[in-house]
Structure 1
């Protein structure tokens, strides 16, 4: 099996709210949409972000574990400079994101901050000056 990630699927409680955030607020273009069921957005050449209604997700995948705390996953958006981190964080807030953490210099040598989308999923916005960070730009 080749190492590959083709889809990132997030089960969301309010598909309309995440559509307003990602599509209307951030301006991300929809690749495919089934009204009330799923929105698919191409986020890289061969990677799609799939925002799926919780009901549809549970019908196919199984019950969602619910409870206190944050989902044990983060999504990351890497940029070329610390200033771009701050600009993306501001744009996300303008689009309706919940502020989680302002950009700051990290022990690993980069600069990053966090926001949450309307479903609560955490996005890291990062400038990683190392080789792996530069490879994804």
Structure 2
């Protein structure tokens, strides 16, 4: 097997937001705490090591991408959080909706044997909240995905 040219990892996900203060307030209502801030950008450390989420004003993000004046959308992306049990999924979903998220699909049993639901944050970014009985959610929030048989 040849070594990949780029490592198989993602260490920063950046969401374009229409109103940075509104987005910060939404994530604060979920219990998230910013780790760093630059003009027009807020960063959050994710559970485990070496992963972060950024919130970036849409106009500033378009300019940073070299597309000044472009109308950016949310794209066909789903962000996901996995939980150790169904009750935690329900509690996180209810908290997000009470903080201003739009319910897309209440958590329910799903075809692959797990339990999940979806909401959209105030900027339309879609989050899946799930319990996968085949994976382990470690105490630090990281996942252990078993090797294929």
The two structures have a TM-score, normalised by structure 1, of 0.87
Q: Which has the higher contact order (CA 8 A, sep 6+)?
A: 1
State whether structure 2 residue 6 is matched by structure 1 residue 16: no
User: How many residues of Structure 1 are paired with residues of Structure 2 in the alignment?
Assistant: 132
Pairwise mapping of residues 1-137 of structure 1 onto structure 2 (< 5 A)? 1-23=6-28, 25-35=29-39, 37-44=40-47, 45-61=49-65, 62=67, 63-66=70-73, 71-131=75-135, 136=143
- The CA deviation string for residues 21-60 of structure 1, in whole angstroms up to 9 with x for no partner, is 002x11211111124x011001132111011001110111
Measure, in 2, the Cα distance between the counterparts of 1:120 and 1:100: 10
* Cα offset, 1:133, TM superposition: 6.6
Measure, in 1, the Cα distance between the counterparts of 2:58 and 2:130: 29
Gaps of 5+ in 2: 1-5, 145-149
RMSD: 1.9
* Cα offset, 1:64, TM superposition: 3.9
Q: Answer with 1 or 2: which has the greater Rg.
A: 2
Gaps of 5+ in 1: none
